[in-house]
């Protein structure tokens, strides 16, 4: 079996070595420009079109991340990049679920224990105990309830918060109230105090966190964007913060990355920022997952993790 690998920033040699350990019988090589030798599988991130185009013999292409929006948008521009019938897989969890839990739980607790207010008081040397927030007033709403949303929901129910989720289809997750489809979006938003975004980037979800959505949240709400920058209308978020509708926001992803130095988000006192690090690809777990999936395909089984080109995620 031949496997080709391309990632613009990963340490390719350590990936090739790690994959070789997982799949000892495979011939694994870094793909370089001009390489049109046969391959059964391709492991990619931001792949050049010529790496995949015309490779009808591929049994699978693996995206080396959870979100496949960059690959699918390239496919829009170059429809022949992925030969018809070749399945595209993405990373399901592979250590990202735990990272998302760490991120979400730490920030929700930060807001719930009013550390943002105490930090602001500290700037004024102000010793002033504040009223506690009550859990029942701190409903967490997850936009997106797939692999990562489910993990985050689990971790927040464990802390005793009321948790609800919104997805394309109803979910049956213990302790989580499920809302589905555009017709239930309003009910989902009504009473949500902390909105956590874990949707994929698709034509239906671009710009979904906008002025009209923010207006429907509970007063003094918080927004945690962990998915993609294009989901959020940044100007609407700033306006909602300045009007007092929103109390705070923590953003990991931005419509333009790196976030431009002149973005007003940098200076806003109630916006916290991380540079798209909420959940990164963990090499060992990703390699084990890819190897397991390849073995399943080789045995004629149907693995999970295939991207629906129709739904765009």
Ligand X SMILES: NC(=O)c1ccc[n+]([C@@H]2O[C@H](COP(=O)([O-])OP(=O)(O)OC[C@H]3O[C@@H](n4cnc5c(N)ncnc54)[C@H](O)[C@@H]3O)[C@@H](O)[C@H]2O)c1
Q: At its nearest, how many Å lie between ligand DGY and the CB of residue 95?
A: 11
289 binds ligand X (CB under 6 A): no
Figure out which of the listed residues 44, 58, 81, 145 binds ligand X, where binding follows CB under 6 A: 145
- Annotated catalytic residue: which of 110, 276, 295, 311? 276
Q: How far is the CB of 201 from ligand DGY (least distance, A)?
A: 9
Site for ligand X in 1-60 (CB under 6 A): none
Residue tagged active-site, from 7, 90, 150, 228: 228
Terminal-residue alpha carbon distance, the chain? 27
Q: Which two tokens stand for residue 249?
A: 């926001």
* 66 near ligand DGY (CB under 6 A): yes
Does the footprint of ligand DGY cover residue 67 (CB under 6 A)?
A: yes
- The CA radius of gyration of the chain, in Å to the nearest whole number, is 21
Minimum Å gap between C-beta 285 and ligand DGY is 12
Strands 176-180 and 163-167, how do they pair?
parallel
Give the interface segment with ligand DGY, choosing from 54-62, 63-71, 185-193, 292-300 (CB under 6 A): 63-71
- Answer for which of 65, 146, 248, 305 binds ligand DGY (CB under 6 A) is 65
Determine, following the binding rule CB under 6 A, whether residue 278 of this chain makes contact with ligand X: yes
Minimum CB distance to ligand X smaller for 146 or for 162: 146
Q: How far apart are CA 297 and CA 60, in angstroms?
A: 8
* Among 41, 62, 111, 313, contact with ligand X (rule: CB under 6 A): 313
Q: How far is the CB of 8 from ligand DGY (least distance, A)?
A: 12
* 276: annotated active-site residue: yes
Q: Is 293 in the site for ligand X (CB under 6 A)?
A: no
**Is residue 104 close enough to count as binding ligand X by CB under 6 A?**
no
Cβ of residue 202: shortest distance to ligand DGY, in angstroms? 13
Strand order in the sheet with 88-89: 27-30, 2-6, 41-44, 60-63, 88-89
Closest approach, Cβ 44 to ligand DGY, in A, equals 13
259 binds ligand DGY (CB under 6 A): no
Is-catalytic flag, 37? Answer: no
Q: Which segment (109-117, 209-217, 224-232, 241-249) binds ligand X by CB under 6 A?
A: 224-232
**Interface residues toward ligand DGY, by CB under 6 A:** 65-67, 281
Catalytic positions are 228, 276
Footprint on this chain of ligand X (rule: CB under 6 A) = 66-67, 96, 144-149, 166-168, 198-202, 204-205, 226-228, 252-253, 276, 278-279, 313
């Amino acid at each position: 079996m031949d496997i080709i690998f391309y990632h613009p920033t990963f340490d390719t040699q350590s990936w090739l070595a790690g994959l070789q350990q997982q799949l000892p019988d495979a011939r694994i090589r870094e793909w370089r420009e001009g390489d049109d030798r046969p391959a059964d599988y391709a492991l990619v991130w931001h792949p050049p079109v010529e790496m995949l185009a015309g490779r009808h013999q591929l049994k699978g292409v693996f995206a080396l991340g959870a979100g496949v929006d960059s690959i699918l948008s390239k496919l829009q521009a170059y429809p022949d990049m992925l030969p018809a019938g070749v399945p595209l897989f993405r990373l399901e969890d592979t250590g990202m679920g735990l990272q998302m839990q760490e991120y979400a739980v730490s920030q929700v607790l930060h807001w719930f224990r009013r550390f943002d207010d105490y930090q602001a008081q500290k700037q004024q040397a102000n010793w002033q105990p504040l009223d506690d927030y009550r859990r029942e007033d701190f409903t967490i709403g997850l936009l997106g309830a797939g692999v990562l949303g489910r993990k985050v929901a689990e971790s927040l129910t464990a802390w005793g918060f009321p948790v609800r989720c919104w997805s394309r289809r109803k979910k049956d997750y213990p302790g989580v109230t499920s809302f589905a489809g555009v017709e239930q979006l309003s009910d989902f938003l009504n009473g949500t105090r902390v909105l956590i975004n874990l949707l994929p980037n698709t034509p239906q979800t671009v710009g979904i966190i906008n002025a009209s959505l923010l207006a429907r949240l509970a007063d003094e709400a918080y927004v945690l964007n962990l998915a993609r920058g294009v989901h959020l209308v940044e100007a609407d978020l700033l306006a909602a913060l300045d009007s007092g509708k929103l109390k705070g926001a923590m953003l990991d992803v931005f419509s333009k990355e790196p976030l431009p130095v002149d973005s007003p988000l940098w200076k806003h006192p109630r916006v916290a920022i991380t540079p798209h690090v909420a959940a990164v690809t963990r090499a060992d777990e990703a390699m084990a997952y890819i190897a397991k999936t390849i073995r399943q395909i080789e045995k004629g089984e149907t693995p999970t993790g295939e991207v629906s080109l129709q739904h765009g995620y």
